[in-house]
Amino acid sequence: MNKTLLVISTNRGLWPETLESVRALRNAGARLVQQEGSSDVSLARNHALSMAAIALELESGQSIDTILMVDDDIVFTTEDAQRLVDRCRETGGPCSGLYVQAGGQLAASRMPSHCRTRPGGPMRPMRPGTWQVGLGFLAFSAAQLVELAERSPSFTLRGARLREFTRSGAIDEDYVSEDYCLSRRLGGVELLTLEVGHLKMIPLYPSAGATKQVCDAAAERTEQ
């Protein structure tokens, strides 16, 4: 995992299983930038990617050639990450692992042949056969991040100068989320049949025994 920069945004902290996966990558030589504390997903993504761009600038781009974005609830092995990064280096294009949302739906959709990346912007051709994907397990080249930074508007947050790499909003009467927007700005993402886990909270309901205990207690008060 040498020359790989791991980029993470989290508002709640990493799930223990994800933390274990990240530690394994760090032990294998990956670098890390981690943004914390924002519930605004678009802002968090932009902040994290801005931190990554600054890290590249400080390193003069010589020790990092691949960006690996990982969400705080993705479970993967070092071998999964290495395969993803190797594919990115082989093709020079962005690629993503395969995971699903809480309802079982694929966290991706087919990329149109042409689309806009911002309201009123030009129609841009996308790479054939690519996808719009979630950003939970995405690799792309450091050179692409630098190029995106150069053509992204800047803004200031608490004294720090950041870049708007992505945004959420309406484009051509469709709502385009921040992950699909970045997929478009990258020209489309190759979706690999590389399955990774996506941790989601499960609602916990009272057991029949617990409900009966409350009912019994209510009945006792009524009798008194």
Q: How far apart are CA 3 and CA 120, in angstroms?
A: 37
Please list, in sequence order, all residues whose beta carbon lies within 8 angstroms of the beta carbon of residue 214, skipping any fewer than 6 positions away.
none
Residue type, 176: V
Domain count within the chain: 1
Tokens found for residue 58: 């400080």
Range of the domain at 132: 4-223
Structure token pair of residue 49: 């990617």
* pLDDT tens, position by position, 119-134: 999 999 999 999 999 9
Say which residue the tokens 């070092």 belong to: 78
The pLDDT of residue 224 is 59
* Structure confidence by residue, pLDDT tens digits, 206-223: 567 766 777 776 677 666
Residue range 148-157: mean pLDDT, rounded: 95
63: exposed, middle or buried (C-beta count within 10 Å: 0-12, 13-18, 19+)? middle
Task: Return the CATH number at 117.
Answer: 3.90.550.40
